[in-house]
Each structure stands twice: as C-alpha cells, then as structure tokens.
Amino acid sequence: MRIDVVTIFPGYLAPLREALLGRAIEAGLVELGVHDLRDWTHDVHQAVDDSPYGGGPGMVMRPQVWGEALDAVLGDAPARLVVPTPAGRPFTQATAQAWAGEERLVFACGRYEGIDQRVVDAYAQRMPVDEVSIGDYVLVGGEVAVLVMVEAVVRLLPGVLGNPVSAQEDSFSDGLLEGPAYTRPVSWRGLDVPDVLRSGNHAAIARWRRDRALERTAARRPDLLDALPDHALDRTDRAF
Ligand code: 6GU
C-alpha cells in the first residue's frame, strides 16, 4: 500500500516512521510520503489560508494551493482521497478494513476552519473522496487524526502484525469490546487471576471470555450491543 499525507506540519507525522508502522515501511509493506503543502505556494509569505466568504471567525485554506499540491501528489495512479474533518462521517473499524484493501490512500490535512469545499467537490468528480471524523471532539487539525487512521489501517495489512489472530480477535471485529486479560503472577497485591483461565478447560474459558466481553460492552457501550444483528447472540448470551 502507498500512503501520502499533505500537511503544513510534516513534523507531526514523524511518529508514522516509528515502531510497528516504521517496521512495515522498512519491510516494504507500506510506502509513505509526507509532503509540505507550502511547497506549492508561490508568494513570499507562503500563505495557505484566507478569510472566509460570508464572514465569521478563523481562516479557510485556499483552494489553489491545495489543487496544485494534490495534482502533483496524486499523479495518474488511482487513489482514494481522505480529508479528516470533525464534520466528516465517522471513521470506524469497518472503514479501516475497507481502506486496508486499497492500493493507495492520500490524506489532505486541513487546519484552521477547514479547506475550501471546492477542493473536495472537484476531486470527488474524478476519484473516491471521504471526509471523515475520528470522534465527537474537535482537534486543531487533521494530522493527529491521520496518525490514528493510518495506524488502524496498516496493522490490518497482511504481514504487519506478528500474530494475525490478534487482528481477528480485536475489540469490534465481533462487535463486542474485548474483556480483561491476565498474565503471571497468579496473585498480585492480593488480586488473583480468575481460576477458569488456569483450568485448561477451553470451552469454559471461551464461555467466560464471551461473558466478560458481553458484560463490559453492556456497561460501557450499550449502543454496540443494541447494534448487533440477532444472529450474533446465542441463547447463553442473552442474559446480558
Ligand atoms: Cl478528522 N479533524 C479534526 N480537526 N478534528 C477532529 C477530527 C478530525 N475528528 C474528530 N475531531
């Protein structure tokens, strides 16, 4: 997969080259390009924003500079364009799974009050464009959202995680939150590992884990339980 990010703060994306993502790049599983939007300005001040038509606070990013930048970064290869914005559709695990199947993702990070809408409208005429939000809170710009989304996507690519079963058993992949996990020692600060996990009874362990996942989901994310299709719950599940 090829990932490009256009931003006025390229340094913000440095963590993409660390740890799991850095190894995916070194292993050739992901190619990453980070581009400074100001490289496509022509004025001495390298201005990327201007005041909004209709008035109001804040600044809007100018369409011409974004157009030149995206034309250059996109080239002719097919790609999906992603514009992070708190006004976007929610980014979810399902979005990450869908994007993990793409050849190429290009992220356009806006700052200030956003990017002139005509940029999205123009590119949407020739390629898939997603305006997405990572949650119901407001960030200063799209850069941190890109870190979140790229990490969620790249860990799903074949060969990136040491153990592919971890991606299959994630919270959300079965629509439930994951339950608690334990390791040695058996007793710590007076708290013991649940006996069932040391019983060797695999059916009992699976049942216990499922019950804890259901219990936690009911307590923390009742919306997820309500959204489960009927066939996702068995008869023993229905107590929760
Ligand atoms: Cl994608 N961008 C910004 N600026 N704020 C956000 C967001 C994105 N998602 C949630 N808040």
Residue 113 CA to ligand 1 center (angstroms) comes to 11
Evaluate whether 131 touches 3 at the Cβ level (below 8 Å): no
Q: Whose CA is nearest to atom 8 of ligand 1?
A: 85
Query: Ligand 1: which of 133, 137, 143, 149 to mutate, judged by most atoms within 8 Å of the beta carbon?
Result: 133
Quickly tell me which residue has 């799209």 as its tokens.
142
Residue 233 CA to ligand 1 center (angstroms) comes to 34
Query: Ligand 1: which of 12, 134, 137, 143 to mutate, judged by most atoms within 8 Å of the beta carbon?
Result: 134
ipTM given for this complex: 0.95
pLDDT digits (tens, 9 = 90+) for 58-90: 999 999 999 999 999 999 999 999 999 999 999
* pLDDT score for 176: 95
pLDDT digits (tens, 9 = 90+) for 99-128: 999 999 999 999 868 999 999 999 999 999
Q: Indicate whether 5 pLDDT > 70.
A: yes
Per-residue burial over 206-221, b = 16 or more CB atoms within 10 Å of its CB, e = otherwise: eebbbebbbebbbeeb
Q: Indicate whether 164 pLDDT > 70.
A: yes
Q: Indicate whether 189 pLDDT > 90.
A: yes
Q: Which residues pair with 84 in a beta bridge?
A: 132
* pLDDT score for 49: 96
User: Burial level of 138, CB count in 10 A (0-12/13-18/19+)?
Assistant: exposed
Quickly tell me which residue has 């996702």 as its tokens.
232
Q: Indicate whether 219 pLDDT > 80.
A: yes
* pLDDT score for 169: 66
Percent of the chain with pLDDT over 90: 87
Q: Stretch 182-190: mean pLDDT, rounded?
A: 98
* pLDDT score for 167: 72
Quote the crossing angle between the two packed helices 19-26 and 143-154, to the nearest 10°: 60
Q: Which ligand 1 atom is nearest residue 141's CA?
A: 4
* Distance, CA of 103 to CA of 75 (rounded, Å): 14
Q: Stretch 156-176: mean pLDDT, rounded?
A: 81
* pLDDT score for 111: 84
Supply the pTM of this predicted model.
Answer: 0.94
Q: Whose CA is nearest to atom 2 of ligand 1?
A: 85
Q: Which residues pair with 158 in a beta bridge?
A: none
Q: What is the DSSP string of 117-178?
A: HHHHHHHHTTS-EEEEESSSS--SSSHHHHHHHHHHHHTTSTTTSS-HHHHHTSTTTTSS--
Q: Is 204 helix (H, G, I), strand (E, B) or coil?
A: helix
Catalytic residues: 86, 113, 155, 170
What six digits make up the tokens of 90? 């929610």
Q: Indicate whether 240 pLDDT > 80.
A: no
User: Which residues have any ligand 1 atom within 6 Å of their CB?
Assistant: 84-86, 88, 132-135, 137-139, 141-142, 145
Residue 193 CA to ligand 1 center (angstroms) comes to 39
Residue 236 CA to ligand 1 center (angstroms) comes to 40
Per-residue burial over 175-189, b = 16 or more CB atoms within 10 Å of its CB, e = otherwise: bbbbbeeeeeeeeee
Q: Which ligand 1 atom is nearest residue 145's CA?
A: 1
Residue 218 CA to ligand 1 center (angstroms) comes to 27
User: Burial level of 19, CB count in 10 A (0-12/13-18/19+)?
Assistant: exposed
Q: Indicate whether 130 pLDDT > 90.
A: yes
Q: How long, in residues, is the chain?
A: 240
